[in-house]
Amino acid sequence: MYISPKASPARQREAQLARDNRAEIVKALSHGQINRRDLFKWGIFTATGALALKNGLSPFARSAFAAVPTGTPRSNLFGQQKFTCTLPRLALQKPVSLTRDPATRNAVFPASLGERPAKRLSYHTDFSANPSDNQFRNLVSGRGPIEGRPPGEIFAHQRWDEFFPKVGYVMSIGPVAAGSKFHPGFVAQNPNSVWCYGTGRFVSGTLPPPLIKARYGEPMLTRIYNNLPLYRSANEGFGVNETQAHFHNAHNGAESDGAANVHHFPGTFYDYRWSTTLARRDKINTQATDPRASGPNGSGGLTNVPGDFRELQGTLWFHDHRFFFTAENVYKGNYGMVNFYSGPDRGNETLVDGVNLRLPSGSLLDWGNTDFDVNLIVSDAAFRPDGQLFFDIFNTDGFLGDVPLVNSAYAPFFEVLPRKYRFRILNASMSRFWKLALAGPTGSAVPFQFIANDGNFVVNPITLTTLDHQGTAERYDIVVDFSRFRVGDKITLVNQLQMRPDGRGPQRDLTLAQALAGDPSDPCIGSIMQFNVVSSVPSVDVPNYTYSSTTPDNSVVPAILTQQIPIVAPVRTRLVEFGRSGNGDSRNSTGQCTPDCPETAVFPWTIRVNGQEAHSMNANRISLLIPKPGEIEHWTYVNGGGGWDHPIHLHFEEGVTINRGVDPIPATEKFVRKDVWRLRTIGQRAVTFQIQFGEYGGSYVNHCHNTVHEDFALLMRIQLLTGVPGSPQTAVTPTPNPTPDGVVWTTPEILPEGDPRTPS
Partner 1 sequence: MSAHHAISKRLVLGFLIATPFALSASGQTTSPPPVTGTKKPTSATPQMIDEAIQRSQARTVKEREQRIPEQFGSEEPFTPTRN
Q: Which residues, numbered 590-629, are part of the site for partner 1 (CB under 8 A)?
A: 590, 592, 602, 606, 610-612
Q: Which residues of 415-429 are buried (b: 16+ CB within 10 A; e: fewer)?
A: ebbbbbbbbbbbbbb
Least Å from the CB of residue 267 to partner 1 = 15
> Position 251: which residue type?
H
* CB of 391 closer than 8 Å to CB of 331: yes
β-strand partners of 450: 462, 478
Residues 112-131: x/- map of binding to partner 1 (CB under 8 A)? ------------xx--xx-x
For residue 460, what is the DSSP state?
E
Question: Does the footprint of partner 1 cover residue 579 (CB under 8 A)?
Answer: yes
- Closest contact distance (angstroms) between CB of 173 and partner 1 is 23
Binding flag, residue 642, partner 1 (CB under 8 A): yes
- The CA distance from 226 to 270, in Å, is 8
In angstroms, give the least distance from the CB of 625 to partner 1: 9
Q: Does 588 bind partner 1 (CB under 8 A)?
A: yes
Could you tell me the smallest distance in angstroms from the CB atom of residue 711 to partner 1?
18
Letters for 333-352 (x = contact with partner 1 by CB under 8 A, - = none) are --------------------
Which amino acid is present at 370?
A: T
Min separation Cβ 95 and partner 1, Å: 31
Stretch that binds partner 1, among 58-66, 188-196, 448-456, 733-741 (CB under 8 A): 733-741
C-beta of 685: minimal distance to partner 1 in Å? 5
Quote the strand ranges of 279-412, DSSP E: 294-296, 302-304, 315-320, 335-341, 373-383, 389-390, 403-406, 409-410
DSSP category for residue 181? -
CA distance 323 to 735: 14
Q: For the chain, first and last CA: distance in Å?
A: 48
CB closer to partner 1, 117 vs 151 = 151
For partner 1, which stretch binds (CB under 8 A), given 74-82, 211-219, 567-575, 710-718?
567-575
User: Does 68 sit near partner 1 (CB under 8 A)?
Assistant: no
Question: Chain-centre distance of CA 360, in angstroms?
Answer: 24
Touching partner 1, residues 510-539 (CB under 8 A): none
Note whether 408 binds partner 1 by CB under 8 A: no
Beta carbon nearer to partner 1, 456 or 688: 688
The DSSP H or E segment spanning 546 is strand 546-548
Q: At closest approach, how far in Å is the CB of 749 from partner 1?
A: 5
Does position 155 bind partner 1 by CB under 8 A? yes
Does 132 sit near partner 1 (CB under 8 A)? no
CA separation, residue 729 to residues 158, 359, 400 (Å): 9, 38, 39
Residue 678 or 685 having the CB closest to partner 1 = 685
Under DSSP, the state recorded for 455 is T
Binding-site member from 8, 130, 463, 583 for partner 1 (CB under 8 A) = 583
587 sits near partner 1 (criterion: CB under 8 A): no
Q: How far is the CB of 509 from partner 1 (least distance, A)?
A: 18
3-state secondary structure 130-176: CCCCHHHECCCCCCCECECCCCCHHHCCCCCCCCCCCEEEEEEEEEE
The residue type found at 15 is: A
Which range, of 419-427, 524-532, 716-724, 731-739, touches partner 1 by CB under 8 A? 731-739
Stretch that binds partner 1, among 168-176, 185-193, 475-483, 727-735 (CB under 8 A): 727-735
427 residue type, one letter: N
Nearer to partner 1, 86 or 592 (CB): 592
Q: Which of 48, 350, 460, 521 binds partner 1 (CB under 8 A)?
A: 48
Distance of CA 456 to the CA centre of its chain: 16
Nearer to partner 1, 549 or 581 (CB): 581
Q: Is residue 460 involved in binding partner 1 (CB under 8 A)?
A: no
Pick out residues in 166-225 that bind partner 1 (CB under 8 A): none
Q: Where are the beta strands (DSSP E) in 342-447?
A: 373-383, 389-390, 403-406, 409-410, 413-416, 420-427, 436-439
Restricting to residues 644-703, which ones interact with partner 1 according to CB under 8 A? 644, 661-662, 681-682, 685-686, 688
CA angle 278, 319, 618 (to 5 degrees): 95
Q: What is the DSSP letter of 671?
A: T
Report angle CA 275, 278, 281 to the nearest 5 degrees: 110
CB atoms within 10 A of CB 42: 12
Largest CA distance in the chain: 75
State the CB neighbour count (10 A cutoff) for residue 536.
13
In a 13 Å sphere around the CA of 111, the CA atoms on its Cβ side amount to 0
Looking only at residues 263 through 282 of this chain, which bind partner 1 when binding is defined by CB under 8 A?
none
Site for partner 1 in 377-396 (CB under 8 A): none
Q: Is 24 in the site for partner 1 (CB under 8 A)?
A: no
Cα-to-chain-centroid distance, residue 546: 33
Q: Closest separation between CB of residue 737 and partner 1, Å?
A: 9
Residue 580 touches partner 1, criterion: CB under 8 A:
yes
| Closer by beta carbon to partner 1, 440 or else 728 | 728
Nearest residue (CB) to partner 1, 695 versus 753: 753
Q: How far apart are CA 524 and CA 510, in angstroms?
A: 13
CB closer to partner 1, 110 vs 643: 643
Q: Could you tell me the smallest distance in angstroms from the CB atom of residue 150 to partner 1?
A: 7
Nearer to partner 1, 560 or 682 (CB): 682
CA distances from 7 to 18, 70, 472, 498 (A): 16, 11, 31, 20
- Which is nearer to partner 1, 447 or 582 (by Cβ)? 582
Which stretch in 15-23, 168-176, 568-576, 666-674 sits in contact with partner 1 by CB under 8 A?
A: 568-576
Q: Does residue 581 bind partner 1 (CB under 8 A)?
A: yes
